[in-house]
Amino acid sequence: MNEGLNEKHIFIVRCGEVALKGQNKPYFERMLVDRIRKRLKKIEQPGMAIETVRNEGLIFVRADKGYEKQQIISEISKVFGVASISPALEAEENMDAIGKVAVEYMMNLIEEKGIKTFKVDTKRADKNFPIKSPDISRQVGAMVLKGCKVLKVDVHNPDCELFVDVRRDVAYVFDKKISGFGGLPLGTNGKGMVLLSGGIDSPVAAWMMAKRGMLIDAVHFHSYPYTSERAQEKVEELAGLVAGYVGRFNMYVINLLPIQEQIVQNCPEEETTILVRRFMMRIAERVARETGSTMLITGENLGQVASQTAEALVVTDASVQMPVMRPLIAMDKVDIMEKAKEIGTYEKSIEPYEDCCTVFLPKHPTTKPKLEKILESESKLDVETLIDNAVNSKELIVIRP
Ligand code: ATP
Ligand code: MG
């Protein structure tokens, strides 16, 4: 075996949708490599290199053996755009070397997992390699049987499927593909302003847009002193969990109480929620404009609550010009909850703290608001000044993972 081969942990990283991008593919691949490097930089330790390179549609990460494999995998799998990851061993591109590495690989698996059966599956990306895939599989299988006496071949239901990927000058041997989230690399699709509450939905909405490559900022409304400082801390912690995927981002915190009081004093009670929501959207839009976001993102979901009926969403949308992204719009609550669990925000979201929306909650909120009537109610308010004051009072909190 070549000196230098397998001196490091090797990971094959597959790009999901990035691979489908025709002419823009190199751009997306570069962005993905960049994101992986940034992510791994955070765990890099002095004198222990981690290298990320792109080659023929795949990305290869090589890390010093001082790193825990699991740690590297866990970091890479959080990068949007990564479809799957395989820890691998590499071999020179000849049957003898491939066989030896396959035996070494299987010996490790026998030790780690006690596997008893296997089959070999080969992909020959290098069509100049003189042996065809099925024959490579057969020969490697024979060498593994010879080298690992406890193993048997089972082509139907093996404990381990051993993959051999023969590429130019080098072959890779691996057994599993650990799924990433797919999506597109962060920063390939603009920036959006998330209206982030402390609930289950909005962190998931933020995550889903980020997964499509959108950078995010957030705005959070509170009604201090009706809502507590602890409630805001909870939102910051929740935002920090989202930052675990997207990195550092800005969250603007705004007290909505002055607006809520004006609404309660001057407008019909049943319209409170929808009026508050229109103010939230307008303030978020203004902050978005000032800070370079071109869209708003909410966790709204058709029919979930009174303010999310079709009629209410129409009236909410009419308050702003920016497109409003609602990635959860057609999901069922159980599925949103599942997603929240999968991305790790659920437990934080269900901690019981008050939200500004529950302050001044009307007993019978209107579920079929009419825009003319809502505009009439708003004419009793000094809308522009209220928005100006709210925007000017915003407080910036930098959210970190
Ligand atoms: P969530 O679980 O995200 O809190 P929800 O089901 O409780 O959502 P609402 O309270 O009606 O629904 O809020 C709908 C959306 O409005 C939220 O998903 C979020 O995007 C936004 N929103 C609600 N409250 C706030 C808040 N205090 N600050 C910022 N945005 C908010
Ligand atoms: Mg909420």
CATH code: domain of residue 95: 3.30.2130.30
Q: Does residue 319 line the site of ligand 1, with CB under 6 A?
A: no
Number of domains observed in the structure of the chain? 2
Residue after which a domain boundary falls, among 146, 179, 212: 179
**Which of 194, 200, 202, 278 to mutate to test ligand 1, by most ligand atoms within 8 A of the CB atom?**
202
Residue nearest to atom 9 of ligand 1 (CA): 300
Q: Which ligand is nearest to the CA of 390?
A: 1
Question: Does residue 4 fall inside a structural domain?
Answer: no
Which of ligand 1's atoms lies nearest the C-alpha of 195? 30
Q: What is the pLDDT of residue 1?
A: 43
Q: State in Å: Cα 307 to ligand 1 middle.
A: 10
Q: State in Å: Cα 195 to ligand 1 middle.
A: 7
Question: 139 and 102 in one domain?
Answer: yes
Cross-strand pairs, 320: none
With 0-12 / 13-18 / 19 or more C-beta atoms within 10 angstroms meaning exposed / middle / buried, residue 368 is exposed
Question: 384 and 280 in one domain?
Answer: yes
Which of ligand 1's atoms lies nearest the C-alpha of 198? 4
**Which of 193, 200, 201 to mutate to test ligand 1, by most ligand atoms within 8 A of the CB atom?**
201
Q: Which of 32, 35, 43 is nearest to 9 (CA)?
A: 43
Q: Does residue 137 line the site of ligand 1, with CB under 6 A?
A: no
Q: What is the pLDDT of residue 353?
A: 84
Residue after which a domain boundary falls, among 179, 211, 231: 179
The two beta strands, 117-124 and 152-153, are: parallel
Residue after which a domain boundary falls, among 152, 179, 206: 179
Please report, for the domain that includes residue 376, its CATH number: 3.40.50.620
Amino acid at 133: S
Question: Does residue 1 fall inside a structural domain?
Answer: no
Which of ligand 1's atoms lies nearest the C-alpha of 299? 18
- Asked if residue 239 lies in contact with residue 199, where contact means CB atoms within 8 angstroms, the answer is no
Is the torsion defined by CA of 322, 330, 370, 277 positive or negative?
Answer: negative
Q: What are the helix and strand counts (H, E) for the chain?
A: 13, 15
Question: Does residue 184 fall inside a structural domain?
Answer: no
Tokens representing residue 167 in the block: 């590429």
Q: State in Å: Cα 184 to ligand 2 middle.
A: 28
- The Cα 60–Cα 8 span in angstroms is 12
Opening angle at CA 36, ends 92 and 34, nearest 5: 100
Question: 157 and 277 in one domain?
Answer: no
- Asked if residue 204 lies in contact with residue 339, where contact means CB atoms within 8 angstroms, the answer is yes
Tokens representing residue 108 in the block: 């490790």
Q: Does residue 304 line the site of ligand 1, with CB under 6 A?
A: yes
Per-residue pLDDT of the chain (401 residues), as tens digits, is: 444 788 999 999 999 887 777 788 888 999 999 999 999 999 999 999 999 999 988 999 999 999 999 999 999 999 999 999 999 999 999 999 999 999 999 999 999 999 999 999 999 999 999 999 999 999 999 999 999 999 999 999 999 999 999 999 999 999 999 999 999 999 999 999 999 999 999 999 999 999 999 999 999 999 999 999 999 999 999 999 999 999 999 999 999 999 999 999 999 999 999 999 999 999 999 999 999 999 999 999 998 888 899 999 999 999 999 999 999 999 999 999 999 999 999 999 999 988 877 778 888 899 999 999 999 999 999 999 999 999 999 999 999 99
Give me the domain span that covers residue 224: 191-399
Residues 6+ apart with CB under 8 A from 155: 119
CB atoms within 10 A of CB 185: 23
Question: 161 and 201 in one domain?
Answer: no
Q: Which ligand is nearest to the CA of 281?
A: 1
Q: Which of 304, 88, 95 is nearest to 201 (CA)?
A: 304
Q: What is the pLDDT of residue 181?
A: 96
Collapsing DSSP states into helix, strand and coil, what is residue 65?
Answer: coil
Question: Does residue 185 fall inside a structural domain?
Answer: no
Q: Which of 195, 162, 184 is nearest to 81 (CA)?
A: 184
Question: 229 and 151 in one domain?
Answer: no
Question: 68 and 134 in one domain?
Answer: yes
Q: Which ligand is nearest to the CA of 196?
A: 1
- Asked if residue 212 lies in contact with residue 81, where contact means CB atoms within 8 angstroms, the answer is no
Question: Does residue 38 fall inside a structural domain?
Answer: yes
Q: Which ligand is nearest to the CA of 345?
A: 1
Q: Does residue 367 line the site of ligand 1, with CB under 6 A?
A: no
Question: 214 and 157 in one domain?
Answer: no
Rg over alpha carbons for the chain, rounded to the nearest Å, is: 27
- The Cα 174–Cα 165 span in angstroms is 8
Question: 203 and 263 in one domain?
Answer: yes
Q: What is the pLDDT of residue 18?
A: 75
Q: State in Å: Cα 12 to ligand 1 middle.
A: 39
Question: Does residue 390 fall inside a structural domain?
Answer: yes
Q: State in Å: Cα 197 to ligand 2 middle.
A: 5
Question: Does residue 32 fall inside a structural domain?
Answer: yes
Q: State in Å: Cα 347 to ligand 2 middle.
A: 15
Q: What is the pLDDT of residue 306?
A: 83
Q: State in Å: Cα 203 to ligand 1 middle.
A: 10
**Which of 197, 283, 286, 341 to mutate to test ligand 1, by most ligand atoms within 8 A of the CB atom?**
197
Buried b (16+ CB within 10 A) or exposed e, 278-317: bbbbbbbbbbbeeeebebbbbbbbeebebbbbeebbebbb
Q: Which ligand is nearest to the CA of 299?
A: 1
Question: 316 and 168 in one domain?
Answer: no
Question: 227 and 80 in one domain?
Answer: no
Question: 149 and 218 in one domain?
Answer: no
- The Cα 67–Cα 71 span in angstroms is 7
Residue nearest to atom 21 of ligand 1 (CA): 195
Residue nearest to atom 7 of ligand 1 (CA): 199
- Asked if residue 211 lies in contact with residue 194, where contact means CB atoms within 8 angstroms, the answer is no
pTM: 0.93
- The Cα 49–Cα 65 span in angstroms is 10
Q: State in Å: Cα 200 to ligand 1 middle.
A: 9
Question: 229 and 291 in one domain?
Answer: yes
